[in-house]
């Protein structure tokens, strides 16, 4: 299971950036805990294909959010293990948090994510570097008597072309259940 997360999250986070940074540039986990999430309404686009090629989907959703003046947080939900599932079959959803009354245009899907228990970390730094911390998060949850029971959600808290990648902040959530 840990091997899956090492590969999966490194690949999914390399989507945004192609160059590696020195490991010492990555900040340690700032928050590391268990919580029940709040209900979340999201407009999203489904994507099937290599995770490392999903960058344009993020651009599409970001552009849509700008056009519609949506102020929510962007997120990605990654469903498949790239060490098991062929690259052309990898599934993910890229979306943005929206207000309750939001009605999407054609080509966009709405869903409500009900509250659920997660182990989470708020990580600072380049995506390809924070991905290296994911096995640590899973291991921590396992030591507390939990197991990962679903796909990972990455919530992008601080990101943008004007922000240095060393200042990116991402909340990483793994849904968990008792062992």
How far apart are alpha carbons 6 and 131 in whole angstroms?
A: 7
d(C-alpha 103, C-alpha 153), whole Å: 23
The CA-based angle 124-127-130, given to 5 degrees, is: 55
**Per-residue pLDDT averaged across 12-24, rounded?**
34
| Residue-wise pLDDT tens digits, 122-143 | 999 887 777 678 789 999 999 9
* Confidence bin at 30 (pLDDT 50/70/90): low
- Adjacent-strand bridge partners of 110: 43
Comparing 150 with 4, the larger pLDDT belongs to 150
Angle, CA of 54, 97 and 45, to the nearest 5°: 35
Tell me if the pTM is above 0.85: no
Distances (CA, A) of 2 to 7, 133, 135, 140: 9, 11, 6, 11
Task: List, in order of start, the domains of the chain with CATH numbers.
Answer: 2-178 (3.20.80.10)
For 34-90, how does the pLDDT look when each residue is reduced to its tens digit (9 = 90+)? 999 999 999 999 999 998 898 899 999 999 999 999 999 999 999 987 778 999 999
Instruction: Go through the chain and tell me how many residues it has.
Output: 179
141: left (phi over 0), alpha (psi -120 to 50) or beta: alpha
CA dist., res. 139 & res. 154, Å (int):
18
Which segment, 5-14, 42-51, 75-84, 151-160, is predicted with the most confidence on average?
42-51
């Amino acid at each position: 299971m840990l091997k899956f997360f090492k590969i999966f999250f490194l690949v999914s986070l390399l989507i945004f950036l192609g160059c590696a940074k020195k490991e010492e540039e990555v900040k340690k986990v700032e928050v590391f805990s268990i919580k029940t999430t709040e209900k979340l309404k999201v407009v999203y686009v489904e994507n099937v294909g290599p995770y490392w090629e999903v960058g344009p989907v993020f651009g599409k959703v970001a552009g849509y959010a700008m056009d519609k003046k949506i102020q929510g947080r962007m997120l990605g939900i990654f469903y498949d293990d790239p060490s098991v599932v062929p690259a052309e079959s990898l599934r993910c959803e890229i979306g943005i948090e929206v207000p309750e009354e939001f009605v999407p245009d054609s080509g966009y899907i709405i869903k409500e994510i009900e509250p659920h228990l997660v182990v989470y970390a708020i990580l600072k730094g380049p995506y390809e570097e924070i991905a290296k911390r994911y096995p640590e998060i899973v291991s921590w949850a396992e030591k507390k008597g939990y197991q990962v029971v679903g796909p990972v959600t990455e919530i992008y808290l601080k990101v943008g072309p004007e922000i240095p990648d060393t200042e990116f902040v991402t909340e990483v959530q793994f849904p968990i259940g008792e062992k």
